[in-house]
Structure 1
Amino acid sequence: MTRPEPVYPAERHALYDAHGYAAAIRSGDLLFVSGQVGSRADGSPEPDYKDQVRQAFANLRATLQAGGCTLEDIVDVTTFHTDPERQFEAFMAVKTEVFPRPPYPNWTAVGVTWLAGFDFEIKVIARIPDAA
């Protein structure tokens, strides 16, 4: 049985220690990435929504890289939005920058009422290309 292994990006932000969780868990050939928010290094949120989404994707990229993956290795995405109706247009603009063409990963978007001071969160599952 594969033993789960925690993964952290090189520039680990304060939220991991403050809240006691791993950025990702590597298990076999899969990388389960915890929800990534648009936090600065000190754990505070980017104030502008679009910048917060961009920072969340930057934090996601760093975590994927630490686990031996890229955006192209993502197979499952879940995003959380505090005000989806108002945020959708700005979110889609950033999403299109990050995933400009097919094949796209599958995606589930969820409206929520609270994200600990953030307005956006993304969690993914990726297949690690060289894990086999």
Structure 2
Amino acid sequence: MKDIPMPPRDVVFPPGRQALYKKNRYSPAVRSNGFLFVSGQVGSRADGTPEPDLESQVRLAFTHLNAVLEAAGCSFDDVVDVTVFVVDPEKNFERIWQIVPDYWGNAPYPTLTGIGVTWLYGFQFEIKVIAKLPS
């Protein structure tokens, strides 16, 4: 059986974050088969360091997420699946979930998987999504 070459990845970069993604060796998002697969977004400052305040970190993660979605011609309304990673969810989940309605929109909501973790490279919250690309 002959190997069929994979087409190059259709990568989406939000404005002003290319150096950070290049440094860390990953794509912020990839378009494939009508969907946008967005890498986990965190509340990082311009230099890549964590925003220290939890609520500010969550808001900044959503700001970064929305910039990636916008660069692909999407919005959070196009998101169909969400995965969140939370350090110490017993302590932090309720605080985080009070911020979510500011970004989440109205029902029907996307699917959600929440995962408690012990370490996120100095961050306390990360969000990754899959969005349906507009036709």
- TM-score greater than 0.5 by the shorter chain: yes
2:54 to 46, 49, 55: 49
2:39 to 31, 34, 41: 34
RMSD: 1.5
Give every structure 1 segment of 4 or more consecutive aligned residues whose post-TM-superposition deviation is greater than 4 Å: none
Aligned sequence identity (%): 53
Whether the 8 Å CA contact 1:13–1:43 is kept in 2: the answer is no
Give how far 1:13 is off: 5.9
Give how far 1:11 is off: 2.1
TM-score by length of 2: 0.90
> Which residue number corresponds to residue 121 of structure 2?
116
Structure 1: stretches of 5+ with no match in the other structure: none
Separation in structure 2 between the aligned mates of residue 100 and residue 70 of structure 1, nearest angstrom: 10
Question: What residue identity is the alignment partner of 2:43?
Answer: G
Separation in structure 2 between the aligned mates of residue 52 and residue 14 of structure 1, nearest angstrom: 20
Whether the 8 Å CA contact 2:76–2:105 is kept in 1: the answer is no
Question: What residue identity is the alignment partner of 1:74?
Answer: V
Instruction: Find the residue that maps to 1:21 and give its secondary structure.
Output: coil
TM-score by length of 1: 0.92
Alignment of 1:71 with 2:76, yes or no, is yes
Give how far 1:27 is off: 0.8
Separation in structure 2 between the aligned mates of residue 103 and residue 93 of structure 1, nearest angstrom: 18
Give how far 1:28 is off: 2.4
Separation in structure 1 between the aligned mates of residue 46 and residue 18 of structure 2, nearest angstrom: 5
Q: Deviations over 1:42-77 (max 9, x none)?
A: 101110001000000000000001111100000000
Question: What residue identity is the alignment partner of 1:65?
Answer: E
Whether the 8 Å CA contact 1:13–1:40 is kept in 2: the answer is no
Give how far 1:114 is off: 1.0
Q: What count of residue pairs does the alignment treat as equivalent? A: 130
Higher-Rg member (1/2): 2
2:92 to 87, 93, 100: 87
